[in-house]
Amino acid sequence: KMVGLAITSLVYFEGVPCTPLLDMMVLSEHSAALPFLHDEVTRQATRNKSHAVVAMMSRTTARRLAVFSAGFFRTPKLFKLIIKRLDESLSLNEFNDEKNWNLMWIDSDDN
């Protein structure tokens, strides 16, 4: 029974091999599985001979995925997310509530 998943790849940021965490999710009732998923991402990065696992996510997503307890740390670099609401039936409050998002991305302009 699948209760979560992580999507990774191998990229080179300024020549450094890294494993980007492109997406990660776990069913809320199985959040105890997060440490196992973190371990598997680490094993994948080791197999890829990566120097780091990198991810970009909202603060809410980082808390939900418990990435800081898995050894991730926050960088001082800030990013701004620019979004446009295309579905007017979605209230602005719902749309702006970060808790409703599962937001992860990667800055791959230099690949």
Cα Rg, the chain, nearest whole Å:
15
pLDDT at 107 over 70: no
Half-sphere exposure of 56 (CA within 13 A, CB side): 10
- Residue with the two structure tokens 């991730």: 72
Question: CB within 8 A of 73, min separation 6: which ones?
Answer: none
- Can you tell me the mean pLDDT for 59-77? 89
Question: Which residues are CB-contacts of 12 (< 8 A; sequence separation ≥ 6)?
Answer: 18, 111
Confidence at residue 57, expressed as pLDDT on a 0 to 100 scale: 87
Q: Render pLDDT for 11-23 as a digit per residue (tens, 0 to 9).
A: 998 899 999 999 9
pLDDT category of residue 111 using cuts at 50, 70 and 90? very low
d(CA 21, CA 10): 9
pTM higher than the cut 0.85 = no
